Amino acid sequence: MADSDPAGLEQTINQASEHHQAGRLDDAAALYRKIVAAHPGHCGALVQLGVIDYQLGRVDTAFTWLHRAAAVNPFSEAVAFTLGELLRLQGRLDEAIPNLMQAIELAPKMAVAHNSLGAALQSQGRLDDAVASFGNAIAQDPGFADAYNNLGVVLEMLGNLEDAIASYEAAVERRPEFAAARGNLGIALLFAGRPEPALAELERALVLQPGVPMMISAKGHALQALGRLDQAIECFEAVVALLPNTPKAQEDLANARRARG
């Protein structure tokens, strides 16, 4: 078969990768299975089959592929990272963290592994350790916008509001279209008593990602703090429409209407 020679194998891998990146998951999986049929120990194809099955919601099968890859190459940073990340997404943190730590041990400069470890530690409530991991991710990749945003979230949880604001600002500086980071920045600025720049960031965030209730609510609070009560009420009404059974949304709307008199 064509995949028996190195050139044919490389061509099939490239085709599978193109399908995967384009979202043609079934086409990609078919090619990766073809590779595994010809090369049962092809670690990269086994990992990608695990990722695709996970994306398709076939979680058990995904982990079967990944454990098979780990048996083929127990010292692969790609296997350790992928296994750790998918375990983290499943909430299996006690299993995820050792795999992510192994990935970092094998590849200390892997910024995404540091970032994922930080997210797992954050989920466990180990906030200081999470700060260190996100900092390591940034040290390895100073342009890593997600790591700056994640660091900002944890710093805010720790009460370090100004440091959190600086981290969110670094995230949006590196990726101006990063809606979540702009929303986080706007909310943090609002908490810091700076409603005018908060409003500007929240409006930018909502252009990038419309319809997010938390951002719309924060925009309403910024408008209310600036005395623009009619616009604030419109925001709170929108939140109530999106979340009709949320007492906080009803309360915010009632307070704004009361303030208007």
Question: Is 98 within the bounds of a domain?
Answer: no
Question: Is 240 within the bounds of a domain?
Answer: no
Question: Is 104 within the bounds of a domain?
Answer: no
Q: Domains in the chain: how many in total?
A: 1
pLDDT at 90: 96
Q: For residue range 168-197, what is the model confidence (pLDDT) as tens digits? A: 999 999 999 999 999 999 999 999 999 999
- Range of the structural domain that residue 13 is part of: 1-74
* CA atoms of 99 and 30, how far apart (whole Å): 28
Question: Is 16 within the bounds of a domain?
Answer: yes
Question: Is 17 within the bounds of a domain?
Answer: yes
Question: Is 22 within the bounds of a domain?
Answer: yes
- Vertex 47: Cα angle to 31 and 132 (nearest 5): 145
User: Mean pLDDT for each 10-residue chunk of the chain (261 residues)?
Assistant: 65 91 94 93 94 95 95 95 97 98 98 98 98 98 98 98 98 98 98 98 98 98 98 98 95 96 85
The CATH number of the domain holding residue 44 is 1.25.40.10
Question: Is 145 within the bounds of a domain?
Answer: no
Question: Is 218 within the bounds of a domain?
Answer: no
- Record the pTM: 0.90
